[in-house]
Each structure stands twice: as C-alpha cells, then as structure tokens.
Amino acid sequence: MAAHMFEGFLEDKIDVGSATLFVRHCDGEAPVVLLHGHPRTSATWHRVAPMLKDHGFAVVCPDLRGYGRSSKPPTTSDHAPYSKRAMANDIATLMTTLGHNTFGVAGHDRGSYVALRLALDHPERVSALAVLDGVPISEALARCDATFAEAWWHWFFFAQPDKPERAINADPVAWYRPDRDRMGEENYAEWLAAVSDPRTVTAMLEDYRAGLGIDRDVEEADLAAGRTIASPVLLLWSTRDDLESLYGDPLAVWRGWATDLRGRGIDSGHHMAEEAPEQLAASLTEFFR
C-alpha cells in the first residue's frame, strides 16, 4: 500500500482568534513552523516535513488564513485582515496553543513575508528565520523596473478589484498550470480543491492587495526605525527561478534587515519543497539544529 502524505502527523483545526487554521503537526524536540506560499497549501511540505520529523523536529505546517482549509475572515477596505501582521499573529498564537514558546520558522514565497513579520513583531519567539525565494515586499517594490513588471505583473493585476477573481475562477488549472507529477497526487488534489473554491481565490488575492498597501507601509516604517531581525537568518533561493536575475546577489537585499545572515542557491524551480525536497530538508536541518 502506498504511503500517504504526512504519515505520523496529526491534523487539527485551531482557533487563533480572528481565524481558524487547519494545521498538520508532529511531536519532537525542536519546534519548526513551515509557511507555504501562493497558491499552495500546507501540503506543499509533504516531502520535506517528514524528513524534518525524522531528524527530531516538532514540525508544524499550517494553511495560512484564507488559504486551503483555513478560515477566510471578512476583509476591510485597507485589507488589514490579510496583512502579514495579522497572519503572523495567527502563527504566534498557533504555536502558543501547541505549547511552543520559541521556534524556528521557514517561509516560502508569500509565506516568507509572514515569516519576516513574525520575526520582527515577535522577536522573543523566533529563534531562527529561513526565507525561501523571497525578499521583503518593500525591497521588491523599491527596485521595481520594467524587468520586474514584466516578470511579476501578477502582483499588480491581483491587487485590482474583481478582475483577477473572474480570470482565475474561469479555469484555475489553466491559470496556474501546475506540474501535477512534481506536486504529487495528494498534494495536487488538495491544491485543486482549494483553488476551485471562489472564497479561497478571493482570500488569496486579498493577501496580494494587503501586500501592495498596508504591508509595504509597515515594512517601510521598520526600515525608517532601523528595526532588524534579531535571530539568525538563512536565505535560500531557487537557481532556476528569477531572484538572481532580478537582484544579482539576493543576500545583498537582505543585509539591511539582518546582522546574522547566510544563504545560497538551490538547484530547483520556484517550488523547491516539491522539486528539491532533499536539498531543502538538509539545509533546514543544518540551520535549525
């Protein structure tokens, strides 16, 4: 019989205040929370999380608010319910509920922005921060040029009212064009169920709408105040994605945010947890141990 995803993990829905998070988690000695990106769910970690579990980590894999099987709170005109601060507070409360006072956090893509906010807003909780395929939103927008706009036009399209919902909901599979084989059947099925729900699509877009407004403002305020990340930071980027072509040395972008910084490229496309799980798990194990 074929093994299913997340063997040995528990599944729960946990009330964190203004949202309820679907979460997979296991017991272990050192807690680590893994935060997925757009348009994935916690299932994206299905190859990496068991490897970390085997190394003794207490691994926590939530669906971010609005994504997957987590709740979709009503939004507001400033999109604050989908701000990275709101999402980071969710994770802080989740980890408290699971009994983890301090923990490592790894975030991929949109999850990296939540991880950054968690490290800045809750420095006493985050022991180490791993950022996967991301730079701060404010840094990306400050460097926005024609090359960025051509490659990342979806950031600005997703921020528009109504139109992106119409485009995505018409045919989510055609819009996202996932690699079903690389994802794995169970991961793909969970992803398909999520993006086939118009409520989830709107909530995921609210994440982007918050990003161009309230999230950018909060990051710029951090920069102006000279706030930096207190914990060690590991930056990993996919060498077959576009972080190097956009920014040259991605570490240079992060040097103003972290005093203890290291990083390297991983031979992978964008979804490194699905495409290069062994390399990623080895890097995270070494960093969080």
Q: Is 109 a catalytic residue?
A: yes
**Catalytic, out of 109, 133, 207, 222:** 109
Which residue in the block uniquely carries the two structure tokens 């916690």?
42
Specify burial of residue 18 (Cβ count, 10 A radius: 0-12, 13-18, 19+).
middle
For 137, residues 6+ apart whose C-beta sits below 8 A from its C-beta are: 113, 211, 212, 215, 216, 219
Q: Indicate the DSSP class of residue 150.
A: H
Scored b (16 or more CB within 10 A) or e, 141-158 reads beeeeeebeeeeeebeeb
**Catalytic, out of 38, 197, 217, 270:** 270
Which residue in the block uniquely carries the two structure tokens 């709408």?
209
Which residue in the block uniquely carries the two structure tokens 């680590």?
32
Residue 121 is inside which H or E element, if any?
A: helix 110-121
For 114, residues 6+ apart whose C-beta sits below 8 A from its C-beta are: 35, 64, 84, 87, 88, 91, 107
Residue 50 amino acid letter? P
For 197, residues 6+ apart whose C-beta sits below 8 A from its C-beta are: none
8 A C-beta contact, residue 108 and residue 100 = no
Catalytic residues: 109, 270
